[in-house]
Chains A and B, each alone.
Chain A
Amino acid sequence: MTGVLLFFVGVLTLAGIYAILAMTLNLEAGWAGMWDLGLVGFVAVGAYTYTILTQTKFDDVIIHPQLPIWVGMLGAAAAAAAFASVIGLPTLRVRGEYFLITTLAFAEVVRQVAVNTQTITRGTIGFSELSRPLEGTFPGTGNRIVLLVIVWIGVVLVYLLLRRIAHSPYGRLLRGFRDNDPVARSLGKATNHHRLRTYILAGALYGLTAPMYLWYLRSVTPHLFAPDITFVTWTALVIGGIASKRGPIIGAVVLLVLTESVSLIQGSANLAVILASMRFVVLGLLLILIMRFRPNGLTDERSAFATVQSSDSL
């Protein structure tokens, strides 16, 4: 019984991490209209920055300052934001499908750089046995619950931050020019500046999420940052409802609980292999059902903003 309980502690931790990623993607794609297929690149930059700054176990890399965890987290956010500002300048010059391809390509570049800079990232071997926050105070099982709590505090904080943005003139402007850039520009709005700022903020949030993911996994290797994270995040957002407010959280929890629960089925090693690939079958099935019966997702933009809209104009 405690095994099952602990299993769900893990699943909900992962769901919380994806909820933050999906909320950030919602800001970027749902509200600001930038369909980013390279968000895993920011997670990777954050993850490596955090690990390099804080890890204490490996000294075969040229940079190992062994800084405190909170410095590593700030570093992760700052590095991912800086990366966003650098690649934002060229990628934001293009729209639509060109933006998709460019962001996808940049994420892949990050992964290849991680593979090939062994003296900094330890290449394909990566880092393992990473320490978790409060490990000394709450050892063993307790620490998994601590991690769950930390992640969900993060979910709440990011939700509050994004709600503040959604209800501000800035959020209103993003949802406006998302659908009609020329009209916004004809009204004196420097839409590309706003896009770049949003992209940088999203980069910082992705970067900040990376350390939580590492605490969960306890290791980092380049193959973690294959496009899977991007696609799972997108699926969570689409299921929950793109451009809504709570949708990304709902979508992440529904998606992760359903796909991860496949692992609860006990059986032989062969069955385990089949079950592992079943996750993507479940994901696909869920996506098809949503597209068929709730094409706007479990919640949608209209209902998410209806209360703001009616109270605002009175």
Chain B
Amino acid sequence: MSLLEISGVTKAFGGLLAVREVSMSVEEGSIVAVIGPNGAGKTSLFNVVTGFDWPTSGTVRFDGEDIGGLEPWQVARRGMVRTFQTPVGFPALTVWENLMVAGTKPKDESLLAALIGSWKTAEKAVKGRARQLLEDLGLWDSRQSIISDLPPGDVKLTDFARQLMFEPRMLLLDEPASGVDPSAIGRLADLIRRVRDQGVTVLVIDHNIGFVLDIADVVHVMALGEVIASGPPEEIVHNENVIEIYLGRPR
């Protein structure tokens, strides 16, 4: 059964249809990509799926449950976590604290827990996971840096690490490759594959076709709010509609 099921989703901003009747499903354990030029409606679709915006019509199901109308934090608690195009995170906190915030469960971060000190027991396990993740990503030495002091590449990695600390079932990546040094894109792709191998389903939006075709099992191409082609990467590269959008129609 597919983990995420988007059916007939439309998002209108006044008279502008940002997303038109989009349907797609994401199988558990796969990497699915959505590509398309600027203004194709990719981010609008992400917003609707993650509760940051409401669909004008259509339904979004996660693990069989209709999640339309839920708040973003409610969507996240069901296991679906997204990233943002600008990966600033919590800029006044250190890399370490960014991960700790993400890893802490609701009952340990309440005002009551702060007053009675009940958070201390769970904190140890969260610290262990944060350490593991930082060492894996080569961020351990930067752990005490405040985000706003980090170089952009490390900010991006921290963004990734923070959202992973939440232990999502599904991760939605909004342009993970943008602003990443071309030489580091291969490492980013490996990282995403590793995350998938650990059981996290991934939906990724990006402009970088090479990167997307490299990692995705299934690619959906959007243009002007509609899905114009879907299929495995090797099929997509030969699809006429896609070639037309990206390269222009041969005369």
Binding site for B on A (CB under 8 A): 161, 164-165, 168-173, 175-180, 182-191, 194, 197-198, 201, 243, 301-302, 309-310, 312-313
Contact = CB atoms under 8 A, between A and B. Distances in A.
A312 to B, nearest CB: 7
Interface string B115-148: 1010100010001001000000000000110100
A164 B112 CA distance: 11
Nearest to A313: B96
Given A165-B114, A169-B119, A186-B163, A312 B73 contact: no
A83 B104 CA distance: 31
B73 A188 contact: yes
B84 A183 contact: yes
A313 to B, nearest CB: 4
A175 B92 contact: yes
- The 5 nearest A-B residue pairs measured at CB: A168-B114, A176-B90, A188-B76, A170-B114, A313-B96
Given A170-B109, A172-B97, A180-B90, A188 B143 contact: no
B110 A187 contact: no
A164 B116 CA distance: 9
Contacts of A186: 50, 52, 72-73, 76, 81-84, 163
Nearest to A176: B90
B77 A172 contact: no
A190 B111 contact: no
B91 interface: yes
B92 A188 contact: no
Nearest to A306: B144
Interface in B89-112: 89-94, 96-98, 100-102, 104, 106, 108-111
A187 B102 contact: yes
Interface residues of B, number: 45
14 contacts: A169-B100, A169-B113, A170-B111, A170-B113, A172-B101, A173-B104, A176-B98, A180-B89, A188-B106, A188-B166, A190-B106, A309-B96, A312-B97, A313-B130
B88 interface: yes
A302 B140 CA distance: 20
Contact of B114 (A171, A175, A301, A309): A171
Contacts of A184: 73, 90, 101
A194 B74 CA distance: 15
Given A170-B110, A175-B90, A190-B73, A164 B115 contact: yes
Contacts of B214: none
Most B-side CB within 10 Å, residue of A164, A176, A190, A194: A176
B111 A191 contact: no
A187 B72 CA distance: 8
A186 B174 CA distance: 12
Given A173-B101, A176-B101, A301-B92, A191 B113 contact: no
Given A172-B101, A173-B101, A186-B50, A191 B73 contact: yes
Given A173-B101, A310-B144, A179 B91 contact: yes
A85 to B, nearest CB: 13
Contacts of B74: 188
A188 B168 CA distance: 10
Contact of A164 (B106, B114, B123, B146): B114
Nearest to B109: A169
A313 B111 contact: no
A309 B144 contact: yes
A169 B93 CA distance: 12
A199 B109 CA distance: 16
A185 B72 contact: yes
A161 B111 CA distance: 11
A110 to B, nearest CB: 25
Given A170-B110, A312-B100, 20 more contacts: A164-B115, A169-B113, A169-B114, A170-B114, A172-B104, A175-B93, A176-B93, A177-B90, A178-B92, A180-B91, A183-B162, A186-B52, A186-B163, A187-B73, A187-B101, A187-B102, A187-B163, A188-B76, A309-B94, A313-B130
Contacts of B73: 184-191
A154 B15 CA distance: 58
A279 to B, nearest CB: 33
Nearest to B81: A186
